[in-house]
Amino acid sequence: MQAARPRPAELQHLRPSNLAGAVAVASVGVTTGAGIALALQPRLFLWAAGQVVLALALVQWFVVLHECGHDTLFRTRRLHPIIGRIAGAFAAIPYACWTRIHGRHHRWTGWQDLDPTTAALVPRERPRLERVVVNVCWKTSIPLFSVIYRLENYWHLPRLFRFFASRTERIRMVRDAAILVLLYGLVIYFVGPLKMLVTFGPALVLSLMVEDVLLLSQHTHIPQHVSHGAAVRPFPAIEQEEFSRSLRLPAWLSALLLHFDAHELHHMYPFVPGYRLHGVAYSPQNEVGYWGWIRAAKRVPGEVFLFQNRTESGWEI
């Protein structure tokens, strides 16, 4: 691997293709279908296998949503809102809310209080109950964080309206959120609450547990700046490496997740599709092995891991 960071102009050949995007979506579709088929089986072993496969599919749909939000899954851009809304339905995130908040996240990475996905982690005095809940959930892998991540960043419409004043954007957010609520209501009504719970419930919990680790690994416990209300400039994408972390997953799993684990490269080169990131000849400075990082991070109390950084805590994770 070369030592110098490639310039964005050197990576213009790593562009999306409709074929690669279609293969990725087809792969997730097959995984989803296989998971549902297994989850509907009466035998316990097959049902349990179905939950694992479905959990993988739900994480994959989240990754597909992520790619669609960047317009990097297909060469033909008009396909992204279509596939993105399907992926959003599986990921429980309204597509219009995702694209606007995630775009703001990339713009303000490095400024903890200006990035809407990290603003809640800015150092402040916290009630004892909040700290206890955070510690327990982090230690026991109760997926509190990926749930709050969704609710606060993509479903909390009054909060989103504070970020985005455009009437058109607000209408799109409300529309996409309302469509998902209606869709979920109809599915539960026709399938039945108990059937839905048995078929999808454990898989949903498993997927959220996985996403807790993936999402919190990306920027948490890394030193970032706080603007304190001052006018500051965003860090250019190529400079966002120091504020991001990459978990090195097994090669097969990384491929299934469109190299979602290569988070530093994604922030540095957000125009490169996830399935092309392996073509970037650069080894990021904060890339760590997934298992070693998980074990180290789980040894840190949740309140320290979330609300401090490694400079403050002394934990090098």
Q: Could you give the 3-state DSSP secondary structure of residue 111?
A: strand
- Looking at residue 239, what is its pLDDT? 96
Q: Is residue 7 part of a domain?
A: no
CA distance 75 to 61: 19
**257: in domain:** yes
- How crowded is residue 127: how many other Cβ atoms within 10 Å of its Cβ? 8
What is the full DSSP assignment across 151-172? IIIII-HHHHHHH---HHHHHH
Q: What share of the chain is helix, strand, coil (3-state, %, to 5)?
A: 65, 5, 30
Q: Report mean pLDDT in 10-residue bins for the chain, 317 residues.
A: 80 96 98 98 97 98 98 98 98 98 98 97 94 97 97 98 97 98 98 97 98 97 96 97 96 96 98 96 94 96 95 88
Angle 193-219/290-299 helices, nearest 10 degrees?
90
Kindly state whether residue 63 falls inside one of the protein's structural domains: yes
Task: Answer yes or no: is 302 within a domain.
Answer: yes
Taking the C-alpha atoms of residue 99 and residue 91, their distance in angstroms, rounded to an integer, is 13
> How far apart are the C-alpha atoms of 315 and 305, rounded to whole Å?
9
Structural domain includes residue 279: yes
pLDDT number for residue 1: 44
pLDDT of residue 316: 84
Residue 293 belongs to domain spanning: 14-313
pLDDT recorded at residue 184: 98
Q: Is 3 contained in some domain?
A: no
Query: For the chain, how many structural domains are there in total?
Result: 1
Given a contact cutoff of 8 angstroms between Cβ atoms, the answer to whether 67 and 194 are in contact is no
Instruction: Give residue 3's pLDDT.
Output: 63
Residue 66 within a domain? yes
Please state, in angstroms and rounded to a whole number, the distance separating the CA atoms of residues 204 and 221.
26
Task: Please report, for residues 11, 59, 213, the alpha-carbon distance to residue 34 in angstroms, rounded to integers and kept in the order given.
Answer: 36, 15, 25
- What is the C-alpha separation between 162 and 291, in angstroms, rounded? 39
At residue 106, the pLDDT reads 98
Angle at 313 between CA 309 and CA 317, to 5 degrees: 65
Residue 248 host element (H or E): strand 246-248
Query: Within a domain: residue 125?
Result: yes
pLDDT of residue 4: 85
Q: Which two tokens stand for residue 307?
A: 């609300």
Token couple for 119: 């603003």
